[in-house]
Amino acid sequence: MNYLKKQIPLIELALATAILSIHLYAAFSDAYNFPNTWFMRDDAYYYFKVAQNITEGLGSTFDGINLTNGYHPLWMLVCIPIFFFARFDLILPLRILLMVMAVLNVATAIMIYRLAKSNLSHAVAIATASFWAFNYYIHTTVYESGLETPLAAFSITLLIYKLSIFEKERRTKSVTMRKIVVLAILATFAMFSRLDLVFLAVICGFWIIFRDRPIRFILPLDIFIIFASMTSSVAFRTGIEQYNTIYAASAVEAMILVLVIKTVLLYFFGTYLYPYPGSIWKMLYRVGTALTISSVLSAGIYFILVQLGIGKSFPRSAFVIDWGISLLLILFLRLAAYWFGDLKIKTNDQMISPLDELQIYWKKWLTEGGIYYGVVGGALVTYMLYNKISFGTSTPVSGQVKRWWGTLINTVYESPAPDWTSFFGISYDKAYDAWQPASSLFLWMAKKIYPLFPGSNTLDERYYISMFVLLTLSFIIIFTNKRRTKQIVSNMALIPLAAGCGIHILSYTTTAYGGVKEWYWISQMIFATLAGAVLIHLLIHRFQHLPWWAVNGKAKFIRFTLKLASIVFSIFMAYHFSNYVKSIMRYDYFPADLPYMGVLPYIESNTSPGSIIGMTGGGNVGYFIQDRTIVNMDGLINSYDYFLALQNKQAPIYLGQRGVTIVFASPRLLLFPPYNKQFAPYFENYSEYGGKNLMYLLEKPKYKPKH
């Protein structure tokens, strides 16, 4: 036992025991609990059914008919061996999966604890790890959905944790190619856990490769600013609705052009150097000049591309708006960098020009960049080629379907970002609430200040006032602890994580992506949790320097008290979390023969064995239904060919050719985009249940469709 304590710290052992015990209790509860109170996301069953079909030799298919790649690959690899057991019992794999997710929760919480302990106080580390492990929102969003989110959270935390170790070791040890390869593999692992984490993988490469130069701190944030500035400039000029339906693609094209030109000119004008060559005012002049020239060049080149038919037209004034926004934000960033820089370094010391820097470091940067991005990029290209060969499209069809939804007007599915708060991911709307659990704090404060802003329609004002006040207080804490903040931010790799989070949000909101979900924002949850821990640590550290803190041995007593308080907080969180789990995962409460879903006996009694049934969604029904096949009609877990047929209004013909004879769906829903009434001539209704109809899918239309 003493040996075990030495190998595994007591806090980590207690944390793991608590998490696993609570989840073990849930794993043995009534079977009915799993589809109705735990794994309730329909999307999760897309993974489950495809994994089951793979183990049965049917290939990567949800329905056994259409090949599909509409999922994130690593989570599917995790699911495949688990859902081998679905042939014996449909609930058994769900019990196993619940415990696999619990293990991932343990691993993530322990890495958060170690990351915080090595950079912050022990008390803060304990509280932060427990908060992640037992917070209700984090649990329900990350660990209760059955989706890829636990693996994504684990992979992001592992990458940041290893970057933190790398950051400390590089100061005393040489950086070998092996270390860069390992970090590249971890970044690749994160990318394949959720493919939208490719942006974090790319940004982390800059953080690693440019580790000896100031550019590593500024470039990731510059990229985010330029991305946000160019796309929001177009949206400001055209309006959000027109941006989504007409200009999103051209705005992203222009952004890529602007990003390349601006970063190159900012580099060669010396704005990534430190100490600055000359006064801060000269640096600001260089920034202004570089951005002005780059804006003129970008506008000119893009207009030429439009004339050549390569680019798409959009308002020219967007380049002017972009110049103003990017100038303001990048100047502010340089001033912040100046403030956080080591002011003791004399301006004439270590002076180097951009060309000199490039001459000194280009071979090193090229070699290490080739290795890092060779691993990440090579893996991504291989994955895309495999998809192209196997499925006819290089990227998951589900993402393509949702981007198509975003360009449609009045779609029955979720629309793209409808307003500015959603555009930047700061809405408290569920889908675009990207900064949980911080936004829960803003909402809590918004309720507290209700007497200052009474009224039934003032929540928006109170929410954003609360956000502004709390962020202002956070910046005050940061700027009054600038040296310690700089060290912590560097050691915990918070800059690449923050930039990756921002670019990740924009990758959805600026590309007219329809169907954004709250579980997309895993990296933001991790960043918000770590950032909150840093702020609490800095606040405590500031109090430690008060005169009364160290008098008569009080400092030691207060540190002990804080640690004890964090343990009590952890016990409190674990207790309430365990009560929540007990309340939803009941024992001997439901009859053993109770159908897992009420709709199952209805469909089975109104269709014959062997029927092939089309459904919108249909993940959980497809997994649990007996002797029938469910074919997904929205396209998220169907083939690329079906997606093309749906776009070309040939979906009924496509489904009919693949044996679909019955559809269970809302006829009204199928009248609107993306279906656009194409199914209506092929339907013959014969039964109804819960607002949906069972309908025959006819071989020939009853009347000529109007396209």
* Token pair belonging to 450: 């209700």
3-state DSSP assignment of residue 684: strand
* Distance separating alpha carbons of residues 561 and 583, to the nearest angstrom: 33
Q: What pLDDT, on the 0 to 100 scale, is given for residue 342?
A: 59
3-state DSSP assignment of residue 686: strand
Q: What percent of the chain has pLDDT over 90?
A: 77
Residues facing 67 on adjacent strands: 61
Pairing assessment for the beta strands 612-615 and 662-665 based on DSSP bridges = parallel
Q: What pLDDT, on the 0 to 100 scale, is given for residue 293?
A: 95
Question: Is-contact 71 193, C-beta < 8 A?
Answer: no
Mean pLDDT of 54-67: 96
3-state DSSP assignment of residue 453: coil
Q: Report the alpha-carbon angle 297-301-307, nearest 5.
A: 150
Among 335, 329, 326, 333, which Cα is nearest to 280's?
335
Q: What percent of the chain has pLDDT over 70?
A: 95
The residue ranking higher by pLDDT, 560 or 141, is 141
Mean pLDDT of 7-34: 93
DSSP type of residue 309: T
* Distance separating alpha carbons of residues 396 and 134, to the nearest angstrom: 33
DSSP type of residue 409: S
- pLDDT confidence tier of residue 276, bands split at 50, 70 and 90: low
Q: What pLDDT, on the 0 to 100 scale, is given for residue 347?
A: 45
- Summarize pLDDT for 110-155 with one digit per residue, the tens: 999 999 999 999 999 999 999 999 999 999 999 999 999 999 999 9
Q: What pLDDT, on the 0 to 100 scale, is given for residue 555?
A: 64
Mean pLDDT of 676-684: 93
Q: What pLDDT, on the 0 to 100 scale, is given for residue 7?
A: 56
Residue whose entry in the numeric block shows the structure tokens 């974090």: 200
- Summarize pLDDT for 655-675 with one digit per residue, the tens: 999 999 999 999 999 999 999
Among 365, 327, 342, which Cα is nearest to 490's?
342
* Distance separating alpha carbons of residues 384 and 198, to the nearest angstrom: 13
Mean pLDDT of 455-480: 90
Mean pLDDT of 447-473: 89
Mean pLDDT of 557-582: 91
Q: What pLDDT, on the 0 to 100 scale, is given for residue 683?
A: 93
- Sheet containing strand 629-632, edge to edge, reads 629-632, 612-615, 662-665, 692-697, 683-689
The answer on pLDDT for 37 being more than 90 is yes
Mean pLDDT of 296-312: 86
Q: Report the alpha-carbon angle 32-38-39, nearest 5.
A: 95
681 upstream amide cis, omega within 30 of 0: no
Mean pLDDT, all residues of the chain:
91
Mean pLDDT of 77-101: 97
Q: What pLDDT, on the 0 to 100 scale, is given for residue 560?
A: 83
The answer on pLDDT for 349 being more than 50 is no
Q: What pLDDT, on the 0 to 100 scale, is given for residue 351?
A: 64
Least confident of 87-91, 338-342, 499-503, 678-682: 338-342
- pLDDT confidence tier of residue 548, bands split at 50, 70 and 90: low
Positive or negative torsion for Cα 563, 565, 571, 577: negative
R_g of the chain, CA atoms, integer Å: 27
- Summarize pLDDT for 407-444 with one digit per residue, the tens: 898 888 988 999 999 999 999 888 999 999 999 999 99
Mean pLDDT of 167-190: 93
- pLDDT confidence tier of residue 68, bands split at 50, 70 and 90: very high
Q: What pLDDT, on the 0 to 100 scale, is given for residue 414?
A: 85
DSSP string across 377-405: HHHHHHHHHHHHHHHSSSS-HHHHHHHHH
Q: What pLDDT, on the 0 to 100 scale, is given for residue 345?
A: 47
Mean pLDDT of 458-487: 90
Neighbours of 319 (CB within 10 A): 22
Q: What residues have CB less than 8 Å from 639, skipping those under 6 apart? A: 66, 67, 68, 391, 392, 397
Backbone angles phi, psi at 28, to 5 degrees: -100, 10
* Distance separating alpha carbons of residues 562 and 120, to the nearest angstrom: 13
Q: What pLDDT, on the 0 to 100 scale, is given for residue 4?
A: 42
Question: Can you give the pTM of this predicted structure?
Answer: 0.94
Q: Provide the CB-side half-sphere exposure for 538 (13 A, CA).
A: 23
Among 579, 501, 478, 536, which Cα is nearest to 139's?
579
Mean pLDDT of 160-174: 92
